[in-house]
Structure 1
Amino acid sequence: MKIKVGQRLIMTAMFLIMIGIQSVAQEGKKFKIGISQFAEHPALDDVRKGFEDELKSLGVNTDIMYKNSQGDTGVAGVIAQKFVSDKVDLIFGIATVSAQAAKQSTDKIPVLFSAVTDPVNSQLVKTMDKVGGNVTGTTDATPMEKQLELFQKIDPKIKTIGIIYNTSESNSEIQVANAKKISVKMGLEVRAVGVNNINDIPQAVNSMISKVDGFYTITDNIVASAINLISMAANEKGIVTVGAEEAHVKGGILLTDGLSYYELGKQTGRMAKEILVEGKNPEDMPVETLANTTKVVNEKTMKNLKLDKNLSVFEGAEFIEQ
């Protein structure tokens, strides 16, 4: 009996030593990471920057290959396949289409995603807690009810909210459905207009501008690319605008109470370290969300709408003027 106990202690010690050796070896390794970003706009750029900055601050030695598909689904697939053929250690898909392309290209290489609103309905994971494969990451699901409440806090007379969305993005359709569901119990009406590409935005805005009291900009790649156009049209008509995230406010939208995409990228960077250095299996890592939101106000837009800076809705906000 004593011999068996001693043997067990020796085996345990040897196992711990081996784990330690492997961990040290991994920390000294240079990891190849392929980053596939679906489009070029501030929110997605912030995710990438936060991811890269966090890996650097954590001391993870990386060789990063960055590719942007410029909103082309086919190109996103080609990029993912190239990363697989290059035998990268990890693929980071920024936005739903890039993440889906990565998942379709490999079931072996770890895949992280970010800037994905609903990874379950987008078929990236089975559930948020049990992802069921080599794919996990962070979601940018926004506190929609909190954001829609901002309209009536600014002006109780606001009853009709306009939303423009990309009909080819499943996440956008999900957000529109959620907004319609939430708005009913708030006494609001949501009117949504779908577009196929950025060239459809001006017509969509013009068709809606006289029929709504406010505009809500969701996390949609086409909408983000045309945020200046939307905010300019709304501001000219004196219409209150609320955005899903900070980049929208930087583009002229009045207000958001949402997440920071830079912080979301940093959080995903920490997950990458757990996979690459610590040897965690993505299958054992639940999808993560960013708990804290930040209220941001575009002061230039606020002045254009002749709103008082001391309104309670602006309390605790960060004011920017761009």
Structure 2
Amino acid sequence: MKWLLAAALLTAANGAALADPKLVEIASFGEHPALNQVAEGFKARMAELGYVEGKDVTYGFQHANFDRSLVPQILQQVEAKHPALILAITTGLNQAAVRGITDKSIPVVFGAVVDPVVAGIVPDWQHGSAWSSGASMLPDFDASFDYLKKVLPGVKKVGTLFNPGEDNDTSNMELIHKAAAKAGIEVVGVPVDNPNDLPQRVQTFAGQVDAIFLIQSNVVQTSVPVVAQVAQRIKLPLFNSVYAPDLKDQLAGFHAISYRKNGEHAADIADRILKGEKPADIAPYVPKAEDFDAYVSPKGLAGVGLTVPEALKDSPWLLK
């Protein structure tokens, strides 16, 4: 009888262990509305896939407050919890994870990474690494310039800001120059590696370009209100590759990839890994047309002395 009781208890214990929810740790470079959308989209899609929070999965969240010196510490804290999977948000944080997370049995799914191949996170666009795959945010600058030509017929020169020390920004700049050449538009890139320098750098666009289009750059995206203030002062329409509803009256418009959808696509990959697929067998997700949104702000255009073109007066792009 004793051995039967012991077997029953062991079976019950094993059942309880199997029922324990999987821990997914979310590590982000910082708290920002766009980056938060990646995490929110991820969790929402996981719920759609059947992962009930508290029952099937639990989430942890750590961020480095946009301080590079804190990233190794954040990653150590995440690894110490021995999660079933890590969602790592932004290019720099994923690059640090490649070097800093020593337990390669913990799979890492990336989000908010423009080009994971150039960043050295995965070997190519057809495969993940042995322990990582995810959803890229590769921009479609061909579509962005088509959009700009509709909003600003006759646009010839476009200014943008970038951090030369970020692989994310380097990839963006290579892609935007290629697309600009095809569109017959000249891109004027101004480097900036410190947010405090943004007002002065934006000022250099005065009289030099027809519009400003912001790429997915961490140093710029965390300070868009500052860029918007200067752009309005020098009467240049400002467009962003990240949609920010609270700035819809200050910016002329957006041709933006959805950070929430990026998180959803990352969740699809996380689901496959949690169900047993190897990250190396999962190709990184490349954004499709439906992952981008186009908006035009009548108030933002009016703020720099422009109006919505007649051809767009009834467009679904118009912001109210």
Give ranges in structure 2 of 5+ residues lacking alignment: 1-14
How far apart, CA to CA, are the structure 1 residues paired with 2:269 and 2:29? 21
User: Quick one: which amino acid aligns to residue 320 of structure 1?
Assistant: L
Q: Does 2:138 correspond to 1:141?
A: yes
Deviation at 1:162, TM superposition (A): 0.8
Q: Does 2:26 correspond to 1:35?
A: yes
Instruction: Report the secondary structure of 1:179's partner residue.
Output: helix
Q: Does 2:148 correspond to 1:157?
A: no
* 1:175-232 deviation line (CA, Å, top 9, x unaligned): 1122222222322211111111211111111122332211010001111111111122
Count of matched residue positions in the alignment of Structure 1 and Structure 2: 297
- Contact kept, 8 Å, 1:94 with 1:115, in 2: the verdict is yes
1:55 corresponds in structure 2 to 46
How far apart, CA to CA, are the structure 1 residues paired with 2:142 and 2:78? 39
Q: Quick one: structure 1 residues 149 and 248, their matched pair in 2 at CA, closer, same or farther if it must change by over 3 Å?
A: farther
2:108 corresponds in structure 1 to 111
Instruction: Report the secondary structure of 1:114's partner residue.
Output: strand
TM-score of the two chains, using structure 1 as the length reference: 0.84
User: Quick one: which amino acid aligns to residue 38 of structure 2?
Assistant: V
How far apart, CA to CA, are the structure 1 residues paired with 2:116 and 2:211? 29
- Contact kept, 8 Å, 1:165 with 1:193, in 2: the verdict is yes
How far apart, CA to CA, are the structure 1 residues paired with 2:182 and 2:192? 27
Instruction: Report the secondary structure of 2:187's partner residue.
Output: strand
* 1:84-119 deviation line (CA, Å, top 9, x unaligned): 222111111110011112222142210000111100
1:212 corresponds in structure 2 to 209
- Contact kept, 8 Å, 1:249 with 1:255, in 2: the verdict is no
User: Quick one: which amino acid aligns to residue 275 of structure 1?
Assistant: I
How far apart, CA to CA, are the structure 2 residues paired with 1:27 and 1:53? 23
User: Quick one: which amino acid aligns to residue 157 of structure 1?
Assistant: G
Deviation at 1:314, TM superposition (A): 6.6
Deviation at 1:28, TM superposition (A): 4.0
- Contact kept, 8 Å, 2:151 with 2:309, in 1: the verdict is no
* 1:234-253 deviation line (CA, Å, top 9, x unaligned): 23333222221323884633
How far apart, CA to CA, are the structure 1 residues paired with 2:93 and 2:181? 33
Deviation at 1:258, TM superposition (A): 3.0
Q: Quick one: structure 1 residues 224 and 185, their matched pair in 2 at CA, closer, same or farther if it must change by over 3 Å?
A: same
Deviation at 1:133, TM superposition (A): 1.4
Instruction: Report the secondary structure of 2:86's partner residue.
Output: strand
- Contact kept, 8 Å, 2:158 with 2:185, in 1: the verdict is yes
* 1:127-161 deviation line (CA, Å, top 9, x unaligned): 11122311100011111111123333233332221
User: Quick one: which amino acid aligns to residue 99 of structure 1?
Assistant: N
Q: Quick one: structure 1 residues 120 and 27, their matched pair in 2 at CA, closer, same or farther if it must change by over 3 Å?
A: farther
2:94 corresponds in structure 1 to 99
Deviation at 1:306, TM superposition (A): 5.0
2:269 corresponds in structure 1 to 271
Instruction: Report the secondary structure of 2:35's partner residue.
Output: helix
Query: Given the alignment, which residue of 236, 241, 259 partners 1:239?
Result: 236
1:75 corresponds in structure 2 to 70
1:312 corresponds in structure 2 to 311
Instruction: Report the secondary structure of 1:208's partner residue.
Output: coil
Instruction: Report the secondary structure of 1:80's partner residue.
Output: helix
Q: Quick one: structure 1 residues 40 and 307, their matched pair in 2 at CA, closer, same or farther if it must change by over 3 Å?
A: same
Deviation at 1:121, TM superposition (A): 0.3
Q: Does 2:302 correspond to 1:303?
A: yes
Query: Given the alignment, which residue of 79, 85, 88 partners 1:84?
Result: 79
